[in-house]
Structure 1
Amino acid sequence: MKDKMILLVEDNPDDELLVLRALKKANVLNQVIVAHDGAEALDYLFGTGVYAGRDINDTPAITLLDLKLPKIDGLGVLRRIRADERLGRLPVVVLTSSREQEDILKSYELGANSYVRKPVEFNSFADAVRQLGLYWLVLNEPLPLQR
Structure 2
Amino acid sequence: MPNSKRPIVILIADDDAEDRMLIHEALDESRLKNQIQFVENGEELMDYLHNRGKYSKREEYPTPGLILLDLNMPKKDGREALKEIKSDDHLRLIPIVVLTTSKAEEDILRTYDLGVSSFITKPVTFSALVDVMKTLSKYWFEIVELPPTQ
The question of a shared fold, defined as TM-score above 0.5 by the shorter chain, is answered with yes
Counterpart in 2 of 1:87?
Answer: 91
Q: Let me know the Cα RMSD of the aligned residues.
A: 2.0
Between the aligned partners of 1:119 and 1:79, the Cα distance in structure 2 is 25
Gaps (5+ residues) in structure 2? none
Contact 2:13 2:38 in 1 (8 A): yes
- In 2, the alpha carbon distance for the partners of 1:136 and 1:129 equals 10
Ranges of 4+ aligned residues in structure 1 off by more than 2 Å: 52-58, 143-146
For 1:82 and 1:68, locate their aligned partners in 2 and report how far apart those are by CA, in whole Å: 18
Match of 1:134 in 2: 138
Aligned counterpart for 2:75 among listed residues 71, 94, 97: 71
Distance 2:111 2:74 in 1: 17
In the comparison of the two structures, how many residue pairs are matched?
146
Please state if 1:103 is matched with 2:107: yes
Q: For the residues of structure 2 that align with 1:99 and 1:36, how far apart are their CA atoms?
A: 21
Q: What is the rounded CA distance, in whole Å, between the counterparts of 1:144 and 1:105 in structure 2? A: 27
Q: Deviations over 1:13-55 (max 9, x none)?
A: 1110110000000000111100011100100001112212426
Q: Is 2:26 aligned against 1:22?
A: yes
2-side partners of 1:133 and 1:13: how far apart? 22
Alignment identity in percent?
A: 38
**Mapped partners of 1:21, 1:130: distance in 2:** 12
Shift of the alpha carbon at 1:132? 0.6
Q: CA deviation at 1:129?
A: 1.1
